[in-house]
A and B are shown apart, each in its own frame.
Chain A
């Protein structure tokens, strides 16, 4: 190819005299370009060769190993390499050879090669002059003879025609077209050669040409860098190619392929434009231990194809010190030291010699450590251009920040004009506001009118300027003003929208719409948009603001979705903890809708507005977004951290107002409905009923501090507002002022008219019971346990509610709801041991921690409805059969009590069997009230139960849990008994003893089997099948059938 122009030229030179000089000129007119192109290529090529050689020298382990290994055939190269001691020389050697060949053949080309600068100077006018003459179409010639005269003339023409130049025309496309190879030109043949020896093969050919001279009939041979295994040979005939390849072991000439004419140009066209490296360009290292690291170009040596870059060193000083002292260095290939700035003192401490030297070229001082140059902590490294990549470098903010000189903020990351070097195409759009950042027009603002390849036509803002100006794309930057609403379209924050609040040159500070956080983005990465999004909101199955389970004990709320990970606010109340997790670390999404009692035992359901009254987030208020295990995720839009989410315990919150809520309402209704049904359906506790009227009469409130009632949610039982629910605003003697939920007004009602589901708001405020502040809390948790149990078991049919037992079961609930309110009652001893009885006990000793412990093990207690708390105790006490039950646990440790009732009660109760019924029934019943339709059976197959039917009791094994809550039970402890279907209230789980095999029927580990290692109060120490040891509430443990 290099010679094509030449050949043609010669061809023309052969032309009859009459065409003479003009013709020549004409030819020249074309030629320069070609020549120039040629030169360009040549230069690149030879440069490359040089470069390659050098590279070989310096990091031979890296890339070019193979070439070195067997260069048997490569005479020149191999030879030079081997013979000449400093490898360095091989490159220039090579280069020389090539030049030699050229000069051998023709001076002209030689000129073109080596003296191109002069040449070009001489040629330019040439071109133009020729253009004036412009006479005759080109006729390519095949002839390939040298005409010395013509050559002479031509040279003369070239060097003696410097007069009257006109710079008007440029080479047109047509001219260019004329240069394309035609059928009459020599052809290009593709020949296979040994992989990695392409250059060598060509060099061999070259040498052969030198040696054999005229015998060789090929025109040129080309090895392309990007094409392995093949070289191109330019020749007129295939036979010439075969001939020339004879005897060269690197070339396999059996298969010679002709390159179609159309594709010939492609062979030699450069596919990617050479990256124009300039100082301050950001690049990335391609190889070595800095691979992938960002570097900044500080110096470019175009001749040697080397660049000096500035890097953050990755140097293990200790290892370096060891090496320098000649100690054994343990080679750990995998270990790459993290990047950090070189600390000279540290180096000196390790006895590493630090020399301070002046760089002769730049005059700067560098610290020289073991041959590496450092300055200001950065490593200055000179590398080959091939080992860096400058395309598409998008430094992230972090990287840029790191690149700031440590301890000096002087260098503004924003002033990195080179960032634009790698912009995507189509970066600017018509209408974009832009600002010129470089050149004469710097700081001129305008709007994009038209975008061309390189240039952008802008409509300047300033008056008095032309209507449109064409500005290079690189000199432009998008421009935003504070207040613009933008969307981030690339980078890590991709997708986020927000308002620009500050513009620092190319960096915008944007206030994100959703997170209300400041984000820093490059102006290039954003577009103006009115859209409001939060960026990524979904990844995998999880979306922003989903509640997810991380492992058995941890859960959290997704507060941000990043490109590869989620940020999760963990469900730890009172201590915001954010964790970044990967998609695969998330176990599942928690979709259940629970409701829990708040501090005042009002029911909190999702979407209720609550106020946090305890803990660090006290005072915050907002709707509940998620409830899980008694932990609320509250969204407060004024809370700026964690996307506005606050994690709080349900008991440290109070429901604000009492907007009508599906769940709350339903609970309320259930209660009242059950209360009506109760007398009919709940025979076991007749005594209760007798007690009821006085309770409902409200007389019991007499002794209480009024304050305690304000804020409580009540339901009006009688009168014009019958059925309404509301919040007590004020208590005036016998009259309550109630703010109705549904009507937004405050009405005054008689205390007697208030009914049902009445719950105190802040019992702790009650002066009289102040001491016992823990008391109400205790009960509140107590029941949770039993309740939670049902919740845990998915599958308890919602139909449970319908069973008569349930209705019956309501009774205790109701009672217990009242119990705490009715201290004056005289039947305390059986009525409310769970609440007051224990309450008094708490007073002296009640360790508050105990109270808190209670909820912890019960992961599912969250869903317990408010107001139902002392239920466990109540039914048991009231049931005549329970006579024995209360005593054991009533006085027992107050703290432990909350959880104990169910378990301890079972113990004594088990033999008796039937007394259990209400207890269990109660548990079951709760499930619907809890509101989880699908939480249900807590009985599980294979557990041992006691069955109490028609007065007799027997032991059985649950075989199957039916969807309606009933169970198929095989009688007898072995499997051979009769199988009967029982209702859940007829069976009772057998509480395991030490070293019994158990099944966990509640909590997070539900369904797992294990062995009970011991009992500690209400907790069982369980060794799971996988040998994990867990401490679980005894209520969660059921004895497994053998």
Chain B
């Protein structure tokens, strides 16, 4: 789920940036530092949409760096248990398949794939129904439901299922 929230961060800025463009530098650095990161609480920071406020800078003894508390608005993406997402399959193997929805990696175990789909090894490993009408392979788009998340410092890993109504392949590259 995406959220537009306000976060705060203490930015350290090198003295050489002090000047007219200080704010710009600050923002640039903030974007560089923050966008694409992941925190367990908020999920992935997708984009910074605005700066709420920049607090007073505090010069650090010894280094000359200045710390600014910056409040910024950003869009974060955090997967939740029970959420339904659309994702692109990145890898298929006998244990299930991996899919990605943006920065989030998901794994759908073969236990969570409908029983009528079977793993077919070969050049393009895939899961196929017995009648061959539905096929999940690399680059397929699937709709899945998250049943569990594990949040590490740097990534969020989810376990999904397609064993439910209205879940499964939504766009098969093979049929296009």
User: What is A's interface to B at a CB cutoff of 8 Å?
Assistant: 482-485, 499-502, 509, 511, 513, 516-518, 532, 638, 640
Please provide the chain B residues from 47 to 93 with a CB less than 8 Å away from any CB of chain A in the complex.
81, 90-91, 93
A518 contact set on B, CB distance < 8 A = 95, 109, 111
Contact A638 B98 (CB under 8 A): yes
Contacts of A517 in B (CB 8 A): 95
Within the complex, which residue of A483, A532, A640 is in contact with B159, where a contact is CB–CB below 8 Å? A483
CB distance from B97 to the nearest CB of A (A): 11
- Smallest CB separation, B76 vs chain A (Å): 21
Q: A501-B109, A501-B111, A638-B90 are in contact. Are A484 and B148 (CB under 8 A)?
A: yes
B31 to chain A, nearest CB (A): 15
Chain B nearest Cβ from A115, distance in angstroms = 59
27 A-B contacts (beta carbon < 8 Å): A482-B112, A482-B159, A482-B161, A483-B146, A483-B147, A483-B148, A483-B159, A485-B148, A485-B150, A499-B148, A499-B159, A501-B112, A501-B147, A501-B148, A502-B109, A502-B111, A502-B112, A509-B109, A509-B111, A511-B159, A516-B95, A517-B95, A518-B95, A518-B109, A518-B111, A532-B150, A640-B95
How near does chain B come to A645, taking the closest CB pair, in angstroms? Answer: 15
Contact A638 to B147, CB < 8 A, known contacts A502-B109, A511-B109? no
Set of chain B residues within 8 Å of A640, measured between Cβ atoms: 93, 95
B150 contacts across to A, CB distance below 8 A: 485, 499, 513, 532
State whether A482 touches B148 (Cβ < 8 A): yes
Q: A499-B159, A501-B112, A638-B98 are in contact. Are A516 and B107 (CB under 8 A)?
A: yes
Across the interface, do A532 and B109 meet the contact criterion of CB distance under 8 Å?
no
Name the A residues within 8 Å of B147 (CB-CB): 482-483, 501
Question: Is B165 interfacial (CB-CB < 8 Å)?
Answer: no
Contacts beyond the supplied A532-B150, A640-B95: 16 A-B pairs with Cβ under 8 Å: A482-B147, A482-B159, A483-B81, A483-B148, A483-B149, A484-B148, A499-B159, A500-B148, A501-B111, A502-B112, A509-B111, A511-B109, A516-B95, A518-B95, A518-B111, A638-B98
Chain B residue contacts of A502, Cβ below 8 A: 109, 111-112
Residue numbers in A under 8 Å from B161 (CB-CB) = 482
Enumerate chain A residues within 8 angstroms of B91, measured Cβ to Cβ: 638
Q: What 4 pairs between A and B have smallest CB-CB spacing? A: A483-B148, A483-B147, A502-B111, A501-B109
* Complex interface: chain A residues within 8 A of B112 (CB): 482, 501-502
Provide the bound-state CA to CA distance between A907 and B147, in Å. Answer: 71
B157 to chain A, nearest CB (A): 8
**Is B33 in contact with chain A by the CB < 8 A criterion?**
no
CB A641 to nearest CB in B, in angstroms, measures: 8
The docked-state distance in angstroms from the alpha carbon of A502 to that of B147 is: 10
A14 to B88, alpha carbons, bound, how many Å?
Answer: 94
B83 to chain A, nearest CB (A): 11
Q: How far is the CB of B151 from chain A (nearest CB, A)?
A: 9
Nearest-Cβ distance from residue B104 to partner chain A, whole angstroms: 14
Residues on the B chain within 8 Å of A513, using CB: 150
Check if B152 is an interface residue, CB within 8 A of chain A. Answer: yes
Contacts of A509 in B (CB 8 A): 109, 111
Considering the complex, which residues of chain B in the window 97-150 have a beta carbon less than 8 Å from any beta carbon of chain A? Answer: 98, 107, 109, 111-112, 146-150
A623 to chain B, nearest CB (A): 15
Chain A residues with Cβ below 8 Å from B109 are: 501-502, 509, 511, 518
In the assembled complex, the Cα of A640 lies from the Cα of B93 at a distance in Å of 8
CB-CB < 8 A to B148: which residues of A? Answer: 482-485, 499-501
- B98, chain A: closest CB distance, angstroms: 7
Note all chain A residues with C-beta closer than 8 A to B146: 483
B152→A532 contact, CB < 8 A: yes
| Complexed CA–CA distance, A513 and B158 (Å) | 11
Residues of A within 8 A of B90 (CB): 638
Chain A minimum-CB-distance residue to B110: A518
- What is the CA–CA distance of A518 and B111 in the complex, to the nearest angstrom? 10
Within the complex, the shortest CB–CB distance from B38 to chain A, in Å, comes to 15
Residues of A within 8 A of B107 (CB): 511, 516
| Contact residues in B for A484 (Cβ distance below 8 Å) | 148
Instruction: Determine the distance from Cα of A499 to Cα of B146 in the docked complex, in whole angstroms.
Output: 12
- Alpha-carbon separation in the docked complex, A516 to B108 (Å): 11
Alpha-carbon distance between A502 and B159 when the two chains are bound, in angstroms: 11
Nearest A residue to B93 by beta-carbon distance? A640
User: Shortest distance in angstroms between B93's beta carbon and chain A's nearest beta carbon?
Assistant: 5
Closest to B149 in A: A483
What are the residues of chain A within 8 A of B81 when measuring CB–CB? 483
Please report the C-alpha to C-alpha distance between residue A509 and residue B149 in the assembled complex, in whole angstroms: 16
Q: Which residue of B lies closest to A500 (CB)?
A: B148
How far, in whole Å, are A509 and B111 apart by their CA atoms in the complex? 9
CB neighbours of B111 from chain A (8 A): 501-502, 509, 518
How far is it, in angstroms, between the C-alpha of A245 and the C-alpha of B85 when the chains are bound? 87
**Min CB gap A1018→B, angstroms:** 41
* Complex-state Cα separation, A640 to B161, whole angstroms: 19
Chain B residues positioned under 8 Å from A499 (CB to CB): 148, 150, 159
For the complex formed, measure the closest distance between the CB of A533 and the CB atoms of chain B, giving whole angstroms. Answer: 12
Instruction: Report Cα–Cα, A930/B152, bound state, in Å.
Output: 37
- For A511, list chain B residues within 8 Å (CB): 107, 109, 159
In the complex, which residue of chain A has the Cβ closest to the Cβ of B40? Answer: A530
For the complex formed, measure the closest distance between the CB of A526 and the CB atoms of chain B, giving whole angstroms: 14
**In the complex the two chains form, what is the Cα distance from A472 to B25 in whole Å?**
66
**B82: nearest chain-A partner, CB-CB:** A483
* Cα A500 to Cα B98 with chains together (Å): 16
Q: How far is the CA of A638 from the CA of B107 in the complex (A)?
A: 11
Closest to B112 in A: A501
Which of A484, A501, A509 lies at the interface centre, i.e. has the most chain B CB atoms within 10 A of its CB? A501
Residue of A nearest to B91 (CB): A638
Query: What is the minimal beta-carbon distance from B99 to any residue of chain A, in angstroms?
Result: 12
Task: List B contacts of A500 (CB < 8 A).
Answer: 148
Residue of B nearest to A641 (CB): B93
Determine the residue in chain B with the shortest Cβ distance to A484.
B148
> B139 CB to closest chain A CB, in angstroms?
14
| Residues of chain B contacted by A501 (CB below 8 angstroms) | 109, 111-112, 147-148, 159
Instruction: Provide the residues of chain A in CB contact with B95, threshold 8 Å.
Output: 516-518, 640
Q: A482 CA to B162 CA in the complex, in Å?
A: 13
Closest partner residue, chain A, to B109 (CB atom): A501
B-side contacts of A532, CB under 8 Å: 150, 152
CB distance from B143 to the nearest CB of A (A): 17
- For A640, give the chain B residue with the smallest CB separation: B93
Most buried by A among B81, B107, B147, B149: B147
Rounded to whole Å, the gap between the CB of A510 and the closest CB of chain B is: 10
- Cα A500 to Cα B111 in complex, Å, equals 11
